[in-house]
Chain A
Amino acid sequence: MEKLKKITSNHLFLPLFALCLLLVFNAFATPGFFTIEFQNGQLFGRIIDILNRASILVILSMGMTFVIATGGIDISQGSVIAISGAVCCYLIGGNGDGTANMPLPVACLVAVLVCAVCGVWNGFLVSKLKIQPMVATLILMTAGRGIAMLITEGQNITVYYKPFTYIGGSLPGSPLPTTIYIAAIMVLFVVFIQKKTSVGLFVQAVGINSNAARRTGLKVSAIIFMVYVFSGVCAGIAGLMESSMIAAADPNNAGLNMEMDAILSVALGGTLLSGGKFYVGGSIIGAITIQTMTTTLYALGVSSEQLPVYKALVVILICLLQSEKFKNILEKRAVEKAVKQG
């Protein structure tokens, strides 16, 4: 009993449990779910598909994790994704002959830099002007798609330059999609930061008690500033992947509601939305779980417009599980049951 409790109280339990449940369900409901085929030097299969799509969410949710850990939230991520795609596609240009106006690496770098600037803006509003994070990022959320439109001059730019599609697709000769590599690199980067620097400790300290953190000598505004910039960069990278997948910039729909999925992944991963202790590992598994759920629901014939209903139910469920009061009610029930059984 004790052991069971220890397992269930681990922060990784919930996302892993949900993931297993989904996988088991799929094993029966979706024929060929676990089949992976090797064709033309590439791996194909639903699992690969999920991982490919989840990579974007993994990157986003890592950015979001740090922001939420400081007690903030960044709801502009979706709009920043649109900006990133717009900048990159604009720089490469929609030349019908498949040439690029600007070398791909430069275009990508500029796009990510622009997104970092978006993060700087958010960070400035939150850390310097002390505006509530949700309100501060709401501004960019509202304006972001307009800015993306401004860049693309109101159209969807379709890119015919072949190498651009490698980011969201596969490099020639690689068995796995590039997105998975990028996500893996980002994960390694975050793991390195966690292990070899005190970023994690400082971010948590700010999220738990920013007053005490300042008095202990932490540069609280600088730390808050930093996490928003990081979130912007993550959204920028995610935006490149997303627009590369469709080989176009779509200011209206790119990354639409992605910030919500990212928040959901973080919450599912065991990080409290009120800030403090955070679990990047949990967020990563959370992201994969959310993507699996999405794919599963699609496979069951749920349309993309109807999908939000199920996500809404998951959000409420997770929040209920995080709520102290709900926990208390559950515990009371358990105790009563135990008493009845003697």
Chain B
Amino acid sequence: MTMRGICKYFPGVRALEKVDFTLRAGEVHALVGENGAGKSTLIKVLTGVYGKDAGEITMEGKAISPSSPLEAMKCGISTVYQEVNLCPNLTVAENIFIGREPKKAGRIDWKTINRRAAELLATLNLNIDVTKTLDSYSVAVQQMIAIARAVDVDAKVLILDEPTSSLDEEETQRLFDVVRKLKAQGLGIVFVSHFLDQIYELCDQVTVLRNGELIGEYEVAALPRVELISKMIGKELGDIQSMGKNENFGTDEILIEADGISAFGRIQDFDLQIHKGEVVGFAGLLGSGRTETAELLSGVAKPEKGTLRMSGKDVHFASPLDAMQHKIGFCPEDRKIQGIIGDLTVRENIIIGLQAKKGMWNHISMKEQEKIADQYIKLLQIKVSSPEQLIRNLSGGNQQKAIIARWLVTQPDLLILDEPTRGIDIGTKTEIQKMVIQLAREQHMSIIFISSEIDEMTRTCTRLVVLRDRRKVAELTGADINSDKVMSAIAGGV
């Protein structure tokens, strides 16, 4: 299958510009790029969710142009999405066969469906009761079921969109076994992932996208990891290391202390002391418990066991507001869903945190609001046409800055930044990193910095907490903070 010169434009955005993509039978082909690089747009064009504005797709030499997921499926292109896209209320067997149920005498033949589903899953080494509803199984199993469905429609091309992001190590390995098996059967597999380890483990070829453009196609085995990263983020090796390191280790004063906090499915027995004015990084893969821990510290979720102490006293946060009253701010990972309030103006988005802290009846006057908004827009160099612009019309980076401004206005002692640089341009990224260091150094603010990009963390953090499988596995300081050490800690070999 090949895609040639694919272009896709959205109003005001160039999502894809002349992108080529070639997939051969029996190969696992990684598609990588940072958020906003155009990976998901390319996939959506391929699967018919979006129409393409230019270019052509050929399958075994014949031109195709699917206009819906169903048509793509008929052409032999199946997709398994990041969030499992099946129906939780239907049985496992039905999820595999819905839309193409075998019929007998005009009615759906349930016996055949259940039998064939069980057989099919058995070929993927999955022996479960197929007559139970999907929601009685774990996400990993659901993912397998989704793959089973995708494969059973005589797929020639299987697209796996971030399939491992909610799986643990063992489940991932099981998934890989299945993928290898399918590969041996001659399927072409597109593997979208931001886990580099997995790409090196599983894939043959890699295509890199950046800002909607094709950077190139490479053989995985022949491409060193650092080079791949530099192609993804568009910086040379030297650049990455050029920015200075944070040398500020904070004061001796302990701001907050976590003692054995646990919450089911989030984190187990987590201990940590954070000093005033230091930048602590939480490293680990997505789902390792880094965001979950931050949520426990900021009152978004409640710990089931363990205690939090601030200046010697036990504290319990029943809500984010409680944590805010204790001068803790949490800038969440998913900007769109958890951060911005899209239809409100930039000004309102900036002051709403402070207003919430003050309470509904203690209204900040308009004049004051405007003053605060102007001040922080200038301070963080947020690019807006006016403070009264709706925040959803800003670019990702500027939205992020506005959210950070919202928290800075509340003057926290501890600011938790979860993936603050995700999906924003490199310039803004550097700005945010510099700001973090500055806040710690000049205002003695303590900061917890969470990021998937290890380089970013090694630069900004003076202490790194490494998490794996919902446990703290290592704490690195000083010279130990470098990519190799962090990587091996994440991978499990300190």
Q: Which residues of A contact B (CB under 8 A)?
A: 196-199, 201-202, 204-205, 208-209, 211-219, 223, 276-277
Among candidates B343, B348, B357, B363, residue contacting A217 with C-beta atoms closer than 8 Å:
B357
A231 to chain B, nearest CB (A): 17
* Complex: chain B residue closest to A222, CB-CB: B360
- A205 and B341 form a contact (CB under 8 A): yes
Contact B406 A216 (CB under 8 A): yes
Give the residues in chain B near A215, CB-CB below 8 Å. Answer: 300, 320, 330, 332, 338-339
Asked if B70 CB lies within 8 Å of chain A CBs, one says no
A-B contact pairs, 19 of them (CB 8 A): A196-B363, A198-B355, A198-B361, A198-B363, A201-B348, A201-B352, A202-B356, A204-B344, A205-B344, A211-B338, A212-B338, A212-B339, A212-B340, A212-B341, A214-B320, A215-B339, A217-B320, A217-B321, A217-B357
Residues A201 and B337 in contact in the complex (CB < 8 Å), given A276-B343, A277-B343: no
A26 to chain B, nearest CB (A): 37
Which of B356, B361, B406 is the most central at the interface, judged by chain A CB atoms within 10 Å of its CB? Answer: B356
Interface 1/0 per residue, B386-423 and A, CB below 8 Å: 00000000000000000000100000000000000000
Of the residues A202, A211, A223, contact of B337 by C-beta under 8 Å: A211
- Bound-state Cα–Cα, A204 to B330, Å: 21
B324 CB–A CB distance under 8 Å: yes
Query: B356's contact among A197, A208, A216, A276, by CB below 8 Å, is which?
Result: A216
B250 within 8 A of A: no
Judge whether A217 and B356 touch: CB under 8 Å.
Answer: yes
- What residues on B are CB-neighbors of A212 within 8 Å? 332, 337-341
CA distance A208 to B339 in the complex (A): 11
Residue-wise interface mask of B (319-339) relative to A, using a CB-CB cutoff of 8 A (1 in contact, 0 not): 111001000001010000111
In the complex, residue of chain A having the shortest beta-carbon distance to the beta carbon of B323:
A217
Contact B360 A217 (CB under 8 A): no
Residue of B nearest to A213 (CB): B341
Q: Quick one: closest B residue to A277, CB to CB?
A: B343
Identity of the chain A residue whose Cβ is nearest the Cβ of B392 in the assembled complex: A208
Contact of B340 among A196, A201, A209, A277 (CB under 8 A): A209
In order of increasing CB-CB distance, the 3 nearest A-B pairs are A217-B356, A217-B321, A217-B324
Distance to closest chain B CB from A105 (angstroms): 27
Q: Check A197 against B332 for contact (C-beta < 8 Å).
A: no
Q: Which residue of chain A is the closest to B390 with respect to CB atoms?
A: A277
**Chain B residue at minimal CB-CB distance from A207:** B343
Is B342 an interface residue when CB atoms closer than 8 A count as contact? yes
Q: In the bound complex, do residue A202 and residue B360 qualify as a contact, i.e. CB atoms below 8 Å apart?
A: yes
* CB-CB nearest in chain A for B359: A198
| Interface bracket on B | 20 to 34
Is B353 an interface position by the 8 A CB rule? yes
Q: Which residues of A contact B406 (CB under 8 A)?
A: 216
A208 to B343, CA, bound (A): 7
* Complex: chain A residue closest to B321, CB-CB: A217
A176 to B340, CA, bound (A): 47
What sequence of 0s and 1s flags, for each residue 101-121 of chain B, a beta carbon within 8 Å of any chain A beta carbon?
Answer: 000000000000000000000
Q: For the complex, give the distance between the alpha carbons of A201 and B348 in Å.
A: 8
* Cα A201 to Cα B353 with chains together (Å): 11
- Nearest-neighbor residue (CB-CB) of A221 within chain B: B319
Taking CB atoms, residues of chain B closer than 8 Å to A218 are 321, 352, 356
Shortest C-beta distance, A217 to chain B (Å), equals 4
* CB-based contact B337/A209 at 8 Å: yes
Given A205-B341, A208-B343, A219-B319: 9 more A-B contacts, CB < 8 Å: A201-B348, A202-B352, A202-B356, A204-B341, A209-B337, A215-B300, A215-B338, A217-B320, A217-B324
Nearest CB of A to B349, in Å? 9
Q: In the complex, what residues of B have CB within 8 A of residue A277's CB?
A: 343
- Cβ contact within 8 Å between B321 and A219: yes
Report the bound CA distance from A201 to B362 in whole Å: 12
Distance of B419 from chain A, by nearest CB (Å): 14
The distance from the CB of B340 to the nearest CB of chain A, in whole angstroms, is: 6
A199 to B362, CA, bound (A): 10
Interface centre among A202, A209, A211 (most CB of B within 10 A): A209
Q: Are A205 and B352 in contact (CB under 8 A)?
A: yes
Query: Are B343 and A197 interface neighbours, CB within 8 A?
Result: no
Query: Given A204-B343, A276-B343, A277-B343, A217–B353 Cβ distance below 8 Å?
Result: yes
B353's contact among A196, A199, A211, A216, by CB below 8 Å, is which? A216
Contacts of A201 in B (CB 8 A): 344, 348, 352, 355
Q: Say how far B362's CB is from chain A's closest CB, in angstroms.
A: 8
Q: Which residues of B contact A202 (CB under 8 A)?
A: 352, 355-356, 360
Question: Once bound together, how far apart are the Cα atoms of A197 and B359, in whole Å?
Answer: 9
The CA of A243 and the CA of B90, in the complex, are separated in Å by 51
* Least CB separation from B353: chain A residue: A216
B128 to chain A, nearest CB (A): 31
Contact present for A216 and B320 (CB under 8 Å): yes
A28 CB to closest chain B CB (Å) equals 41
CA of A196 to CA of B348, assembled, Å: 15
Chain B residue, CB-CB nearest to A196: B363
Scan residues 220-238 of chain B and give those whose CB is less than 8 A from a CB of chain A.
Answer: none
A276: nearest chain-B partner, CB-CB: B343
Specify which chain A residues have a CB less than 8 angstroms from the CB of B339 in the assembled complex: 212, 215
Query: What residue of chain B has the Cβ atom nearest to residue A205's Cβ?
Result: B341
